[in-house]
Amino acid sequence: MLRNKLGITEQTALSVMERAHTLRQAQRIATGRLPTERTFDDSHLQAIHSALFSAMYDSAGQFRTVDIRRGVNEFARVNDIPALLGQMHRRVPETDWSVDDPDVFASNIADTFVIVKFAHPFRDGNGRTTRIFLNHVAELRPFGSISRR
């Protein structure tokens, strides 16, 4: 269990509180009430993570400092995270997101997802952070975002 600012010591209670809070914050980001600069780099990911988790954890927005794995999933080593996020930052502006082909879009967004997923830069909350980040990437296409607002 991650140490939290609320002093919650029971995992289920913490999970419930965290989900409710991050859902509210995600909605604030999606509606623009919590502006997030679309730089498509490590700072962009950190800003999203911080917005989601700063009320709950001191480590919000900070990249992990230890190597981790979840079950059989091994994520990038800490030393490899900057290079992977640099690759992501180069890839997003180099991709032609205006192509009006759902298969091309799916392939491009999947490639971006794989980079961020493997980097797994935060101890926790990577999935929620990545979902918002990819929605910001999808805003670059003519059809707008992909979220379920």
Is the model's pLDDT at 16 over the cut of 90?
A: yes
Plot region of 67 (φ>0 → left; ψ -120 to 50 → alpha; else → beta): beta
pLDDT at res. 2: 76
pLDDT tier for residue 135 given thresholds of 50, 70 and 90: very high
Domain locations in the chain as residue ranges: 11-138
Q: What's the chain's average pLDDT?
A: 92
pLDDT of residue 102: 87
- For domain 11-138, give the CATH number: 1.10.3290.10
Question: Structure pTM?
Answer: 0.90
DSSP 143: T
State what percent of residues in the chain have pLDDT above 70. 95
